[in-house]
Homo-oligomer: A and B are copies of this chain.
Amino acid sequence: MPREPLSSSAPASASSPVDAGPSFSPLYRQIKSLLIAGLQGGEWKAGEGIPSEIELAQRYGVSQGTVRKAIDELAAENLLVRRQGRGTFVATHAEQQQQYRFLRLMPDEGQEPGLGRQLLDCKRQRAPAWIAKQLQMRAGDPMVEVRRLLHGKDKPVVLDDIWLPGDLFKGLTTERLNKHRGPFYGLFETEFGVHMIRAQEKVKAVAADEESAALLHVAVGTPLLSVERLSFTYGDKPVELRRGLYNTSTHFYRNDLN
């Protein structure tokens, strides 16, 4: 089968005496990179279908099995979703009952959290150094700051502070946030084309200060879970920093280890 510019394996370049990191990559990984580039470049948008495996195989000049393996990995990483008989689709947060892709909070009794949202504040600021650093911006760069509560049955459970790069979220206003129903990540996708694909969290136990105690209806000094989440889009680019304070008197943070 004819193949084009894909380097079939390690480059057959002039002899490399000390080939430290040959970084040879198999065909299916090169296909995977091409697919990621397509996602990143907006060739296929969130929720849409990508071409069939056969079509991609023809396009890239490889066998269907090779495309399949590339897609397998992307599906395992939750970037793509396969649906038998229908096709392969770009994963999205902006859909149906998905509800809180990254939130690990569970009620002590019962199943789903089913939390209500309450927007407290949304303003544009200049990024302080510690935030700018994590978002790979410069201190003083424009930044959007959002504060909100998530309510359980009778008490507030989560106080979230969210920081976003100002240039990526230009038209983000209180009104826009209030009009939107569903998780923020859905809004970020459909309105701003920012797609979170991965996040890392740092969890600590802290004591409630006066402000957070008042908002969460607990006594000052109450132990709270502090969850600092940095979210990334394609290319490991950080695009959101979030600091949540969780009241864990009736909920817990769930984690599965493999």
Contacts and interface: CB of A to CB of B under 8 A. Distances in A.
A257 B200 contact: yes
Interface residues of A, number: 33
A244 to B, nearest CB: 12
Contact of A200 (B76, B248, B255): B255
Interface in A178-214: 197-207
Q: How many copies does the complex hold?
A: 2
B252 A203 contact: yes
Interface string A213-240: 0000000010111100100000000000
Contacts of A205: 205-206, 223-226, 246, 248
Contact of A256 (B76, B78, B198): B198
A154 B158 CA distance: 34
A78 B226 CA distance: 30
Contacts of A104: 255, 257
A258 interface: yes
Contacts of A203: 203, 225, 248, 252-255
Contacts of A78: 258
Contacts of A229: 257
Contacts of A24: none
Nearest to A65: B65
Contacts of A199: 256-257
A203 B244 CA distance: 14
A200 B254 contact: yes
Given A204-B225, A206-B223, A198 B257 contact: yes
Interface string A94-131: 00000001101010000000000000000000000000
Nearest to A102: B257
A130 to B, nearest CB: 13
Given A104-B257, A198-B258, A204-B252, 12 more contacts: A76-B76, A78-B258, A199-B256, A199-B257, A202-B252, A202-B253, A203-B225, A203-B248, A203-B253, A204-B253, A205-B205, A205-B246
